[in-house]
Amino acid sequence: MPIQVPKALPDRVTRLAQVRKTPFLTIDKKMVLRKLDQFQKAMPDARIFYALKANPHWRIAKMLAGRTGFEIASEEELDLLLRCRVSPQRIISSNPLKSPSFIKAAHAAGVKYFAFDSPDEVEKLSEFAPGSNVYVRLSVSNEGSRWPLAGKFGVETAEAVELLTRASRGPLVPCGITFHVGSQCTNEMLWVSAIEKSRLVWNAVEREGVNLWMLNIGGGFPIEYIESIPPFDQIAAVITETLRREFPTGVEIFVEPGRAVVGEAGILVSSVIATARRNGENWLYLDVGVFNGLMESIGGFRYSMTADRDGPVHKWVVAGPSCDSLDVISNGVELPELQIGDKVYISSAGAYTTAYASRFNGFLIPKTYFV
C-alpha cells in the first residue's frame, strides 16, 4: 500500500477553515493558470480545450476564457461559457452522443466542432448542425487508467473509416479523429498506441478520398494523489515525439485536459463528525463523502488526507456522512487521533468532486472558495 505523506497546507486554506462552515473546496487560482501554462509550454503546437466537466465553476470558466478553448457536452455548459463571453469558436463538443436539443443550441450559438461514433449521430448532426466539422471517436485501450472511459464510446478502425466516409456524403465536413485513453492515465504508451491507431484510420480514409486535418488526443493526463505518476513533461514528450513521427505536417492537434488543469489546485476541507471502533477497525466519519464530493473514491481513487492535529498516527477507515454503506472513502488512511470538529484536508480535489456531487440525504455540496 502506498505511503501517505501529509501535505503542507497553505495558510490561506487553514485560515478559511477557522471561519467557514465545512465542507468546502478551495481552488488555488494561480495554480490553475500555472497548469494551463505548463500544457501550453509542453505542447506548443496543440490547441487546448479545457474539459469543463472536470470543474464547471463559473469563476474557473471566466478565468480561462480568452486563454484557452473549452470542451463541453450540454446546454448548461454551453450557456455558462456564453455567459462568460467565451467565443463559440473556442468551444468544441467531443461527447459522441449528444441530445438533439444540445446540438441545435450549440450550432445556433456558432459551435463548429462535434464528435460522433454512430450512424445515428451522423444523421442528427446532418439535420441539426449542417456544415459542422465532425470527428470520429476511435475506440482505444484504456488499460492503465484509473477511470476508464472505454466501452461506452468509440468505434474500431473499419467502422471509423466507414463513418467518416458516410459523413463526407452529407452536409458535414469530416475533419478528424479523436480518442480518450481514460482518465488518470499513468501509462503514456496508451497515447502512443492510440496515435498509431489514428494514423491507420487516417490513411484508410484518405484512400477513400476524404482528407482530414485534425487529431484530437483527448484528456486523461494524471495528477498526483497518493500513487506516484510519471512526470507530466515525460508524458508530453512521448506524445509530442509520437505525433511528430506519425503526423509530421499539416495536422491540427487538439488536446482536452480536465483533471490536469484543476485537480491539484483543489483542497477539500471537511470536519470530523463522528468516530467509532468497529470489528477491530477505527472509523472516521467526515461531513464530506462519496455522494457530496468524493464520488471517484468508488473507482479506487485514494486521496492524500491531512489533519490539523499532531500525534501518533492510526490507520482509519474514512467514511462520509450519509446513511449509505457505499459511502466509504478510503481504508488504511494514516491520521492522528482525532476529535469531533477537527478538520481533515483532502488534497488534489479540484476535479470531478463538486462537479459530481449530489445532495443525497440532505448533505450539502461543498461551496467553492478561490484562494
Residues that bind ligand PLP (CB under 6 A): 51, 54, 71, 94-95, 149, 180, 183, 218-221, 256-260
Closest distance of CB 147 from ligand PLP, Å: 7
Please count the other Cβ atoms lying within 10 Å of the Cβ belonging to residue 123. 13
Per the CB < 8 A criterion, the answer to whether 336 and 271 are in contact is no
Considering the complex, what minimum distance in angstroms separates the CB of residue 143 from ligand PLP?
15
Nearer to ligand PLP, 186 or 240 (CB): 186
Residues labelled as active-site residues? 323
Helix (H, G, I), strand (E, B) or coil at 183: strand
Task: Output 54 or 290, the one with its CB closest to ligand PLP.
Answer: 54
Integer Cα distance of 250 and 238 in angstroms: 20
Cβ at position 262, least distance to ligand PLP in Å: 9
Chain position whose Cβ is nearest to ligand PLP: 219
Which one, 54 or 201, has the nearer CB to ligand PLP? Answer: 54
**Which of 75, 118, 77 minimizes the C-alpha distance to 100?**
75
Taking the complex as a whole, the smallest distance from the CB of residue 52 to ligand PLP amounts, in Å, to: 9
- Tell me the torsion sign for CA atoms 255, 185, 260, 61: positive
- Which one, 23 or 220, has the nearer CB to ligand PLP? 220
Nearest CA-CA partner of 4 in 351, 349, 352, 332: 332
Residue 12's identity, in one-letter code, is R
Cα of 344 vs its chain's centroid, Å: 24
333's grid cell: 488512511
For ligand PLP, which is the closer residue by CB, 231 or 280? Answer: 231
* Rounded-to-integer distance, Cα 171 and Cα 333, Å: 56
Closest CB to ligand PLP among 148 and 321? 148
CB of 316 to ligand PLP, least distance (A): 28
Question: How far apart are the C-alpha atoms of 331 and 8, rounded to whole Å?
Answer: 22
Smallest separation (angstroms) from ligand PLP to the CB of 323: 29
Q: From 57, 2, 66, select the one nearest 29 (Cα to Cα).
A: 57
Q: CA-CA distance, 265 to 259, in Å (whole number)?
A: 10
Reported residue count of the chain is 371
